Amino acid sequence: MTPLILLVPLVAVAQEEQAEDFRGYIDQGKFSIKKGWWTDARDQLNLAVGHPDGWADPEAWYLLATVRYELSDIEGARDAASRAHTYSRSEDQLQVSAGFSAFVHEQFGIIEVRAPHPGMAARLEVDLQTLLFDPEQTKFLDRILSKYKRKVVLPQRFGLPVGTYLVNGVEVPIRADEPAILELPTSELRTRGPAAAKLAQAEISVGLCNWLGTDVKNLLPSLNTQIAVSQPIGPARVAVLVDWIPTAYNMANGESYINTAGWSAGLRAGIEIPGTAPLVIRPSIGYRYSTVPGLELECATQGTSYTCGTPEAPTDLVVYAVGRAHIPFFELSLAHLDNRRTSGVGLGVKGVAEYAFGTLPKDGEAFALSDGASLPFDVDPEFKTWNAIGLRVLATVSVAF
């Protein structure tokens, strides 16, 4: 019996501490309301109604309803006010919560503004065409107008006092009983630029590139840096990209070398899979034109120069040429970027699989690493082509603007 007797006071202390935590959230919420710190107040009151002792507390729900209203969240205010009314424990609580619930349910409506494609950005011009007699509604409308002076990403869903409005020149009646749906045409997005100003992005990527195949067997995994700028066009996102790949390779003497002449430039087009926000999943296809250094050629003496690529000839010289290649590729990008905002920084990773259709220069000039001596060479026409599979893995920082 003794252990059970000791357990009862411990349980009572724990319950008392939980109750104190719950009241502490409400007290912090009230303090933040007095200071006008609405976001802090919402966070504290969310903790209060999420507490085991607060989920049915009418005071906590009523305070949360008023805070959500101040933050222009009419749908959230309606939900909290209804709960405050349902959980009321006295006549006074019932009257106060019923009055506020009727206010947000009957004097406001909801509008959802859409664009031709999700993720497009716009500036919303909201002009009231009817009169407002309630000063509280006027203050609420001023907060909404201030919020949408800046460019936002569509769709946007928000509350407005009941009345008739012009939203970007389109007349919309706002009613309390059902949401209004407005799909703005591209011409009414109040923005400029390609695709009516969907968000452009700049990307900086760093990772590894590796070539596979008999023609590139001496190439080693190498550093890959990339800069890309993308712009949505319709449902697709199109990018211009430039890569620098200082290519490492093994030489015939057993040493390794890095040639900084590895460059590429190209285009990429992809579609972001919907419904994954804030994770952005984007499969893409693209093309790049690239220089690939370090391609090994065995050469034989031909007068005062060398001819490379003829397998039956004796090897008098090994050169490492810079090839050219047309490279179609497939890319899969995963990034965390909140596209609901009109600017932001995202972090992600992407993998690229590609195939190179390459050629070698018909002639060139090699330089000895030991003394820098110039060694002219030409390439047998039958051995001017090369092919390889490329794999890249890159970490990416993206900035939307």
- Interval 51-104: pLDDT, tens: 988 888 999 999 999 999 999 999 999 999 999 999 988 888 899 999 999 999
Report the pLDDT value the prediction gives residue 199, as an integer from 0 to 100: 65
Which of the four pLDDT bands, split at 50, 70 and 90, describes residue 233? confident
Report the pLDDT value the prediction gives residue 11, as an integer from 0 to 100: 39
Report the pLDDT value the prediction gives residue 341, as an integer from 0 to 100: 54
Residue bearing tokens 């507490």 = 51
Secondary structure (DSSP) of 157-194: EEEEESEEEEETTEEEEE-SSS-EEEE--GGGS---SG
**CA terminus-to-terminus distance, the chain:** 69
pLDDT at 171 over 80: yes
Q: What is the mean pLDDT of the chain?
A: 86
Range 143-163 average pLDDT = 88
Tell me, which fold does domain 14-106 have in CATH? 1.25.40
Distances (CA, A) of 315 to 34, 239, 251: 87, 45, 14
pLDDT digits (tens, 9 = 90+) for 346-375: 899 999 999 999 999 888 888 887 777 788
Q: Which of 17-26, 82-91, 100-109 has the lowest mean pLDDT?
A: 17-26
Residue with the larger pLDDT of the pair 85 and 196: 85
Closest by CA to 84, choosing from 66, 72, 111, is: 66
Distance of CA 388 to the CA centre of its chain: 32
Q: Of 187-196, 243-252, 267-276, 299-308, which one has max mean pLDDT?
A: 243-252
Range 128-132 average pLDDT = 89
pLDDT digits (tens, 9 = 90+) for 311-336: 777 888 898 999 999 999 999 999 98
Report the pLDDT value the prediction gives residue 5, as an integer from 0 to 100: 41
Residue with the larger pLDDT of the pair 106 and 185: 106
pLDDT at 19 over 70: no
Report the pLDDT value the prediction gives residue 343, as an integer from 0 to 100: 54
Angle, helices 91-106/74-86, rounded to nearest 10 degrees: 150
Report the pLDDT value the prediction gives residue 191, as an integer from 0 to 100: 55
- For the domain 199-400, what is the CATH code? 2.40.160.20
Range 114-137 average pLDDT = 85
Give the strand pairing for 108-114 and 236-244. unpaired
Give the domain ranges of the chain. 14-106, 109-193, 199-400
**Positions of E strands within 59-118:** 108-114
**Positions of E strands within 49-141:** 108-114, 121-122, 126-128
